[in-house]
Structure 1
Amino acid sequence: MKRIALFHLETLMWIHRLGTFAAAAHRLNTTQPAISARVREIEEQLGVSLFQREGRRMVLSARGRRLVQASEPLYRGLEHVLLEASDFAGATASVRIGSGEIAAASCLPAFIQAVERDRPGIAMEIDLDLTARLLQQLLAGTRDIVFLAGPVASPGMKTAPIGSVELVWAAGAQVAAAGGFDQPLPVWSLPDHSPLHAVSHETLEAHGIAPRALHTCNNVRAMIEIVVNGQGAALLPETMIRDRLAAGTLREVLPRPLQRVHFEAAIRTREKDPVILDLFARAGQLAIDPAA
Structure 2
Amino acid sequence: MKRIALFHLETLMWIDRLGTFAAAAQRLNTTQPAISARVREIEEQLGVPLFQRDGRRMVLTARGRRLVQDCEPLRQGLERVLLDASDFAGATGTVRIGSGEIAAATCLPDFVGAIERERPGVTLEIELDLTARLLQQLLSGMRDIVFLAGPIASPGLRTAPIGSVELVWVAGRSVAEAGGFAGSPPNPPLPVWSLPDHSPLHGVTLATLGQHRIAAPALNTCNNVRMLIEIVARGQGAAVLPETMVREELANGSLQEVLPRPTQQVHFEAAIRDREREPVILDLFERAARLSIERPAF
> Shorter-chain TM-score: which interval?
over 0.9
Name the CA distance, whole Å, in 1 between partners of 2:110 and 2:88. 19
Corresponding residue number in structure 2 for 1:131: 131
* Equivalent residue, structure 2, for 1:47: 47
Q: Deviations over 1:229-257 (max 9, x none)?
A: 11111111111111111222111112212
1:106 offset after TM fit, Å?
Answer: 2.4
After the TM superposition, which residues 99-248 of structure 1 pair with which residues of structure 2 at under 5 Å, given as runs? 99-183=99-183, 184-248=189-253
The one-letter code sitting in structure 1 at the alignment partner of 2:123 is: A
Query: Which amino acid in 1 is paired with 2:213?
Result: G
Q: 1:54 to 1:165 in 2, by over 3 A?
A: closer
Query: CA deviation digits over 1:7-64, x for unaligned, max 9?
Result: 1111111111111111110110000001111112222222333233445654322222
Q: Which residue of structure 2 lines up, in the alignment, with residue 60 of structure 1?
A: 60
Question: What secondary structure does 1:90 align onto?
Answer: coil
**Residue of structure 2 aligned with 1:273, choices 273, 278, 284:** 278
Equivalents in 1 of 2:140, 2:162: separation in Å? Answer: 23
**Distance apart, 1:90 and its partner CA:** 0.8
Q: Which one-letter code corresponds to 1:259 in the other structure?
A: Q
Root-mean-square deviation (CA), in Å? Answer: 1.8
**What 5-or-longer segments of structure 1 have no aligned partner?**
none
Deviation at 1:212, TM superposition (A): 4.2
- Matches of 2:93 and 2:262 in 1, distance apart? 42
Q: Match for residue 260 of structure 1?
A: 265
Q: Distance in 1 between matches of 2:74 and 2:144?
A: 21
* TM-score under structure 1 length normalisation: 0.94
Give aligned-pair identity as a percent: 77
**8 Å CA contact 1:185, 1:213 repeated in 2:** no
The one-letter amino acid paired with 1:96 is: R
Change (3 A) 1:57 1:284: closer
Q: CA deviation at 1:6?
A: 0.9
SS in 2 for 1:123: strand
User: Which amino acid letter does the alignment assign opposite residue 260 of structure 2?
Assistant: P
Aligned length: 291
> Kindly tell me: are residues 134 and 56 of structure 1, through their superposed partners in 2, closer, same or farther at Cα, counting changes over 3 Å?
closer
- Matching of residue 282 in structure 1 with residue 287 in structure 2: yes
Mapped to 2, the partners of 1:194 and 1:57 lie a distance apart of 31
Q: Find the residue that maps to 2:23 and give its secondary structure.
A: helix
* Unaligned stretches of 5+ residues in structure 2: 184-188
Partner Cα distance (1:98, 1:174) in 2 = 37
- 1:69 maps to which residue? 69
Letter in 1 for 2:118: D
Q: How many angstroms apart in 1 are the aligned matches of 2:43 and 2:104?
A: 44
Aligned AA for 1:77? G
**Cα distance change, pair 59–212 in 1 and its aligned pair in 2 (3 A):** closer
Distance between the aligned counterparts of 2:56 and 2:146, measured in 1?
Answer: 30
> Does structure 2 retain, via aligned residues, the 8 Å contact 1:146–1:265?
yes
> Structure 1 pair 172/64, CA: closer, same or farther in 2 (3 Å)?
same
Alpha-carbon distance in 2 for matches of 1:250, 1:223 = 12
Q: State the distance in 2 between where 1:116 and 1:74 align.
A: 29
